């Protein structure tokens, strides 16, 4: 009888420890940020399937007076794809050196997905497999849209719709938007009409619902997108 009672007590003690053991698994995360590696690799996360929750470490904390640089730029010789918008999904990452954030290409899609701007075409990008964020820019009056596949709500994409538009860019967007579920579509105005300025749009795919942020910069030239950040807005 004593052996049976001791065994029951031992099992009860183990069960009592389980909540503590489970809580200990989250002690490495704080303020919604887990697994930050270093300042030069802010967005490196492991790949996830589309059915899994993406990493909560999606975007760095952009701040006023930090610098922003898009090193990917606009591609040349972009063509419509049978009347549909060109798919310019680009593996990308954001690194920081000092106070400067740089958007650059990446060898895989686990860091993020970037959609380059093209003046004469509506362009689209689908979030790469496992990407924690997707973004596009620069903006100074163009339109932005976020959408998902009608047959798979976890397959998310964005569009950069140029303004002033062309007959081709209008036709591209009208054809494409009928094939997807558009979640949001809005104009991104010139952020500071008194100076050369532009905006970048980022979507945090780890948020539920997806969180959209606009990062405004003062550019060195008209139509440029590199320069100091003067505002960060959650949309």
Tell me the pLDDT tens digit for each residue of 150-194: 999 999 999 999 999 889 999 999 999 999 999 999 999 999 999
Residue at 220 is within a domain: yes
Residues 6+ apart with CB under 8 A from 108: 47, 91, 128
pLDDT of 222? 86
Mean pLDDT of the chain: 80
Q: How far apart are CA 230 and CA 235, in angstroms?
A: 16
Q: Six-digit token pair at 33?
A: 């940020």
Specify the pTM.
Answer: 0.74
pLDDT of 213? 95
Q: Hey, is 79 helix, strand or coil?
A: coil
Distance of CA 71 to the CA centre of its chain: 16
Residue at 28 is within a domain: no
Residue at 90 is within a domain: yes
Residue at 216 is within a domain: yes
- Contact predicate 90/123, CB 8 Å: no
pLDDT of 58? 60
CA angle at residue 88 from 46 to 148, to 5 degrees?
A: 70
- Contact predicate 150/179, CB 8 Å: yes
Residue at 17 is within a domain: no
pLDDT at position 41 over 80: no
DSSP letter (8 states) at residue 117? -
Q: How far apart are CA 184 and CA 192, in angstroms?
A: 23
The pLDDT of 41-58, averaged and rounded, is 34
Our count of domains for the chain comes to 1
Tell me the pLDDT tens digit for each residue of 180-192: 999 999 999 999 9
Q: How far apart are CA 71 and CA 203, in angstroms?
A: 19
Residue numbers of the domain that contains 70: 37-46+54-234
- Contact predicate 101/66, CB 8 Å: yes
Residue at 3 is within a domain: no
Higher-pLDDT residue of 14, 80: 80
* C-alpha closest to that of 117 among 9, 199, 58: 199
Beta bridge partners of 211: 204
Beta strand 100-105 with 123-126: parallel, antiparallel or unpaired? Answer: unpaired
Residue at 226 is within a domain: yes
Tell me the pLDDT tens digit for each residue of 62-114: 989 899 999 999 988 888 888 899 999 999 999 999 999 999 999 887 789 99
The secondary structure element, H or E, covering residue 232 is strand 227-234
Residue at 148 is within a domain: yes
Higher-pLDDT residue of 233, 77: 233
- Contact predicate 161/201, CB 8 Å: no
Q: How far apart are CA 126 and CA 137, in angstroms?
A: 15
DSSP letter (8 states) at residue 210? P
Residues 6+ apart with CB under 8 A from 91: 105, 106, 107, 108, 109, 111, 112, 113, 114, 128
Q: What percent of the chain has pLDDT over 70?
A: 75
């Amino acid at each position: 009888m004593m052996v049976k009672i001791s065994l029951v007590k031992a099992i009860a003690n183990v069960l009592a420890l389980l909540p503590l053991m489970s809580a200990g698994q989250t002690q490495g995360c704080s303020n919604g940020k887990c697994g930050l590696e270093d300042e030069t690799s802010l967005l490196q996360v492991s790949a996830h399937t589309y059915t899994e929750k993406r990493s909560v470490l999606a975007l760095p904390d952009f701040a006023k007076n930090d610098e922003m640089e898009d090193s990917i730029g606009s591609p040349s010789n972009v063509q419509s794809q049978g009347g549909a918008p060109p798919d310019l999904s680009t593996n990308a990452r954001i690194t920081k050196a000092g106070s400067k954030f740089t958007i650059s290409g990446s060898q895989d899609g686990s860091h993020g997905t970037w959609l380059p701007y093209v003046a004469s075409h509506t362009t689209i990008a689908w979030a790469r497999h496992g990407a924690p964020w997707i973004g596009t820019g620069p903006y100074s009056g163009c339109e932005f849209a976020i959408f998902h596949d009608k047959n798979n709500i976890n397959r998310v994409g964005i569009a950069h719709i140029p303004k002033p538009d062309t007959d081709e860019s209008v036709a591209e967007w009208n054809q494409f938007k009928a094939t997807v579920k558009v979640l949001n579509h809005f104009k991104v105005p010139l952020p500071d009409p008194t100076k050369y300025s532009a905006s970048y749009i980022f979507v945090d795919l780890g948020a539920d619902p997806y969180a959209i942020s606009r990062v405004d910069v003062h550019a060195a030239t008209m139509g440029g997108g590199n320069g100091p950040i003067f505002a960060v807005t959650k949309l």
